Amino acid sequence: MKQTTRTGAILLLGAFALGGCASTGEIDQLRSDIERAQSTADAAAAEAAAARSDAAAARTLAEEAQDDAAAAKAKAEETDAKIDRMFKKSMYK
């Protein structure tokens, strides 16, 4: 039992010695990388929000165009019916 504990402790100590500890420079580099990644993510989120806003404006504009087209169609049908009535009226005379 003592031998297993001792061997485990030696292996653990060896792993720490080989792995080493992160230096201050490495930590600063990691922090810098994290900040850069965060700013990239923030920029992407801002672009996504702008795109969402543009899409909403485009949708509103498309709905207005569809309403205008429907009104124009109704007016054309009304005019067509009026011309048809005028033609029929002239045929009866």
* Assigned domain for 13 exists: no
Q: Is position 4 within any domain?
A: no
User: First CA to last CA across the chain, in angstroms?
Assistant: 122
Mean pLDDT of the region 18-39: 84
- CA–CA gap between residue 29 and residue 61 (Å, rounded): 48
Domain carrying residue 53: 24-92
**Residue 70: C-alpha distances to residues 27, 30, 81, 84 (Å):** 64, 59, 16, 21
71-86 confidence digits (pLDDT tens): 999 999 999 999 999 9
Does residue 1 sit within a domain?
no
Question: How far apart are alpha carbons 93 and 88 in whole angstroms?
Answer: 9
The DSSP symbol for 53 reads H
Residue 46 pLDDT > 80: yes
Alpha-carbon distance 89 to 81, whole Å? 12
Domain-embedded: residue 83: yes
Residue 69 falls inside a structural domain: yes
Tell me whether residue 57 is in a domain. Answer: yes
Least confident of 20-24, 37-41, 53-57: 20-24
What domain count does the chain have? 1
